[in-house]
Structure 1
Amino acid sequence: MTADPAAEESAPVPVRPAEGPAAPQCSLAAAPDPYPLYRTLRERHPPAYDPHLGAWLVSRYTDVVGALRDARLGRPRSVSCCEPGDDRCGAPHLLAPRAVREHATGAFREIAERTAYVLASRLARRPEADLVAEFCRWLPSGVVATAAGLPYDALARGDRGLPPTRTGPGRRGRGGPGTAALAGLLADRAALTEKALASLIANLLDHPAQLAAVREDPALIPRAWAETLRRNPPVHVLVRRAVQDVPLAGGTVPAGAAVGILIGSAGRDHERFAAADDFDLFRPDPGRLTLGPPGCPVAEVAALQAQYGLRALLDAMPGLRWADGFRPVETGLLTRAPRALCVRPA
């Protein structure tokens, strides 16, 4: 993720890298906990050049939203559906007509519920379990496998990473028309759904009063999901490349330069969210930056997996809590989530 050297030599650099005593720490690659650095970047260096990443970093909420929508910052061609900040999703045309799309999305509700309860029930009587390795990682892949008509024994052999399936709307999975096509899109995002599920569970276990509220009223799960995506999004950095000189956040990013759009920083911006570092499922406005555009079937199915996954865990494990002495640790640079969730199910 380095900028084009020729572009850097030929174009002026009107915004300087961070200077002063803290400069050596002003690289995301050297920050095991990026949140203090995010705050420093928002308050002092919008934007800042990170020489270790070879990219200009955009950190403030308003600047992140603007960068995500700026056509002069080219995105990778591999994007198959949509990304944070998009107004529209590219998936519906792959699942046309609308009736097929709605049927496929609806079919995933039953698939997600059944898969979640099977996985949760297998862990319920265990003295200890790692919910990342034994639940969050398997639920998205199990849902995709079922929808695509693939056997579970492939997953049992460890083949969790299903390849993207480019199928048309006429291809039938176990859920009927369109499910195989949607399963292909979901396979692209399975790892991100896994990370978001892990962060959701970690946030609730870290806040017992809010966990109790969700137990009492499962209708609060979508609020907990939205708040998790704001506070702990699975994607922290999206990389773009300037196709021309781009005025951005009070400076100018030169043509050809890489731009790191800090989604993980935007959700913690105190200028946009009150008590932005706190997890609060009752927050009146968690924003939509990381929820995906309205009507995105991939985002809708991910939310269904969160809803039924959490309900299955809470139903099967009334005493769910952290294992003795365990604390979750987030890891990752571009994507980020707890590496393990060691719990006592019983």
Structure 2
Amino acid sequence: MSRTESGFSVLSDDFAAAPYRYFAGLRERAPVHYEPAIDSYFLSRYQDVKRVLTDHETFSTETLQVRAEPVMRGPVLAQMTGAEHTAKRRIVVRGFTGQALQEQMRAIHVNAAGLIGPFLPRGRVDLVNDFGKPLAVHVTLDVLGLDKKDWQQVAAWHSGIAEFITSITLTPERRRHCLDCAERMEAYLVPIIEQRRRHPGEDLVSKLCTAEVDGIAMSNRDVTALIINVMAAATEPADKTLALLFKHLIDNTEQMAQVRRDPSLLSAAIAETLRYTPPVQLIPRRSEKDVVLAGTTVPAGATVFCMIGAANRDPDAFAAPDTFDIHRLGTARSFTAAAQHLAFGTGLHQCVGTAFARAEIEIVAAMLIPLLDQVRYSPGFRYRETGLYTRGPASLSLDFTPVHDGVPVPD
């Protein structure tokens, strides 16, 4: 039976367990797939997805008013347009690029060294739960200038916020939980925001607190929304992509050996990981008028989900798309527009954390690959991915040759 016949649903357990095996069927037979239970359209072809993400007049981000604003505690960057979007995005991007990024690189390395250190003599680590998730939160708190002693509580609140944004459907109980997490996060942040207004530092929260848009300082609610926006942008791609990178290199031993011999290939391996298994699988938009996509009319006001994982495996855009190949583009083009993949979106609302995520993953992977010698899956480990909207390994238990000399931290 065709996987795209009337009984097929992207909301099914079968799809959630292994979405990649359905993508070719969707692209070929149902490139504009309608889900009546949620009155939404799912697009799987590269050209259609790219059109939706770049045609900002026809496809707006208004869906985020319902999907994100309640837990972000205010409008997020993707909802904004015009001068407000330009000004606020510039403030945030400055916290992730240039001199600010250079200063963060050592902090990324120090955080990674401290987290991996206890596991090196043991020769075993869960790269997701022991390392990747706490690392992403620690580094993000450093960028923002928030106290890392609160990281577990902040991570728990952030998890609830992310659940609200990335769930296609939520039970009333889970919805209440997510909204409670958002309220608690806001209550935690407001006193910090007020303190940074009085005594600003060099951290990103201080820069948000002291910045002006059209000559007017941002409100506490504006700053809170941008802080939570940054948390989502900085944490979601990093921990998932790092684990997926190691999985693909372990599964492709010759490519792992090539990266070990030639570290300049690392950026290409990361870019190919983002194409092959993007951590953000769905990006929502709203059609502002009736529009025809792949022969199907999508009505005005409809929710459209761009299936990034399917678009990134479209043979019309990528040769041999279901093959992991770190030599697909070469190192020079891996993080340029020529890379083509849509893992960070594209157009006006491309993820603000792109440069930071790349730097973080490169720094951490470059440190880990030499340390995790003869790395392989732990005995008895069974790989499993989770997530429909964002997707990554539930865990990644790895064995490697134990290290007893500790982790060198650069001066």
Identical aligned residues as a percent: 30
1:107/1:171 CA distance change after superposition, 3 Å: farther
Residue 24 of structure 1 aligns with an amino acid whose one-letter code is G
Whole-angstrom CA distance in 2 between matches of 1:128 and 1:118: 16
Whole-angstrom CA distance in 2 between matches of 1:91 and 1:308: 27
Whole-angstrom CA distance in 2 between matches of 1:278 and 1:48: 25
Compute the TM-score of the two structures, normalised by the length of structure 2: 0.69
Task: Give 1:326's match in structure 2, choosing from 381, 386, 405.
Answer: 381
Partner of 2:7: helix, strand, or coil? helix
Whole-angstrom CA distance in 2 between matches of 1:20 and 1:215: 40
Whole-angstrom CA distance in 1 between matches of 2:87 and 2:28: 35
Whole-angstrom CA distance in 2 between matches of 1:101 and 1:200: 23
Structure 1 residues 136-175: aligned runs within 5 Å? 136-155=132-151, 157=152, 159-161=154-156, 163=185, 171-173=200-202
Offset of residue 28 of structure 1: 4.1
The 10-residue stretch of structure 1 (257-266 or 50-59) with the greater mean CA deviation from structure 2: 50-59
Task: Give 2:36's match in structure 1, choosing from 51, 63, 75.
Answer: 51
Structure 1 residues 87-166: aligned runs within 5 Å? 92-95=89-92, 102-155=98-151, 157=152, 159-161=154-156, 163=185
Q: Which residue of 1 aligns with 2:298?
A: 253
Compute the TM-score of the two structures, normalised by the length of structure 1: 0.80
Q: Which residue of 1 aligns with 2:48?
A: 63
5+ residue gaps in structure 2?
A: 70-74, 80-84, 159-184, 210-222, 330-337, 402-411
Whole-angstrom CA distance in 1 between matches of 2:31 and 2:110: 47
Q: State the Cα deviation string for residues 63-100 of structure 1 (Å, max 9, x = none).
A: 110111222222124574469xxxx987642248x699
Task: Give 1:340's match in structure 2, choosing from 391, 395, 399.
Answer: 395
Partner of 1:137: helix, strand, or coil? helix
Q: Which residue of 2 aligns with 1:219?
A: 264
Q: Which residue of 1 aligns with 2:58?
A: 72
5+ residue gaps in structure 1?
A: 1-17
Count of equivalent residues: 323
Q: State the Cα deviation string for residues 35-62 of structure 1 (Å, max 9, x = none).
A: 2221111011221212244311111000
Q: Which residue of 2 aligns with 1:289?
A: 342
Q: State the Cα deviation string for residues 247-290 of structure 1 (Å, max 9, x = none).
A: 22222101222212111100011111111011111112642422
Partner of 2:280: helix, strand, or coil? coil
Q: Which residue of 2 aligns with 1:29?
A: 12
Whole-angstrom CA distance in 2 between matches of 1:133 and 1:36: 26
Residue 73 of structure 1 aligns with an amino acid whose one-letter code is F
Whole-angstrom CA distance in 1 between matches of 2:361 and 2:328: 19
1:277/1:89 CA distance change after superposition, 3 Å: farther
Contact 2:3 2:25 in 1 (8 A): no
Residue 24 of structure 2 aligns with an amino acid whose one-letter code is R
Contact 1:107 1:175 in 2 (8 A): no
Task: Give 1:270's match in structure 2, choosing from 312, 315, 322.
Answer: 315
Contact 1:101 1:178 in 2 (8 A): no
